[in-house]
Amino acid sequence: MKKILLVEDDRQLSDLVTDFLTNEGFHVKQEFRGDTVAKRVEKFTPDLIILDIMLPGKDGFAVCRDIRPTFKGPILMLTAKGTDFDQVLGLEIGADDYVIKPVEPRVLLARVSALLRRGELPKEGNEKAELNIGSLYVNRSSRQVTLQNENIELTSQEFDLLWLLASRAGEVQNRDYIYKAVVGREYDGMDRSVDVRISRLRKKLHDSNETPFRIKTIWGQGYLFVPDAWS
């Protein structure tokens, strides 16, 4: 049974969402303040967090920023704040997805299920468990990444994105495939979450404005992992 921590200060809404997800087979715990989330995460060890933004004690952006270095599971922001700025900010500080309230229960369930599945990338029978590409080392089993012997901390979705690109180095991966494999749903032509994660991944891997990038954007097609840039 997957465990979900629901952080929502509207108690009526929180109860409704909790009842719905519980009936769908999840173990749900509720939290109503932002400044108590970190301790609850440590004790409950959820598989996924649904996080509101407007919270007493500490807002959802600050909560996400604080817990992301240690919490590796998916964070789904559930909020009434629907501007592009808010969505991009949430993704940049480590959220995995963003749902605007009010949301239909089945839509929320689909997003939750997609996030919990997103680590199950398509596998080929002969796919390796680890990659050594120049100074970059990626281990799929331990989800460890090092660059020039420096440990690189990635969120689960950032790791999945890196593995998808690195395991297919030298091949352009189109957006539709990336969204299905990493985000867990069809690309709608508007979602910027993968673009934001590519940007975060580049920063963490010390990518720069060299030509080409280590992770190169192929306009109109997708992204290309450049294997010889890591030597």
Q: Which residue has the higher pLDDT, 68 or 122?
A: 68
Distance (Å, rounded) from C-alpha 33 to C-alpha 98? 19
The model's confidence at residue 125, banded by pLDDT at 50, 70 and 90, is very low
- Taking phi first (over 0 means left), then psi (-120 to 50 degrees means alpha), and beta for anything else, what does residue 134 get? left
- Residue 160 · residue 182 · CB < 8 Å: yes
Q: How far is CA 172 from the centre of its chain?
A: 21
Q: What's the rounded mean pLDDT across residues 13-25?
A: 96
Least trusted range by pLDDT, from 79-83, 99-103, 123-127: 123-127
- Residue 75 · residue 49 · CB < 8 Å: yes
Q: Is the pTM of this model over 0.75?
A: no
Per-residue pLDDT tens digits for 222-231: 899 988 766 6
Distance (Å, rounded) from C-alpha 154 to C-alpha 102? 31
What pLDDT score does 120 carry?
52
What percent of the chain has pLDDT above 90? 40
Distance (Å, rounded) from C-alpha 138 to C-alpha 214? 15
Distance (Å, rounded) from C-alpha 81 to C-alpha 68? 21
Q: Which residue has the higher pLDDT, 206 or 209?
A: 206
Letter for the amino acid at 26? F
Q: What's the rounded mean pLDDT across residues 14-23?
A: 96
Per-residue pLDDT tens digits for 153-173: 887 778 889 999 999 999 999
Per-residue pLDDT tens digits for 21-80: 999 999 999 999 999 999 999 999 999 999 999 999 999 999 999 998 889 888 999 877
Q: What's the rounded mean pLDDT across residues 177-197?
A: 76
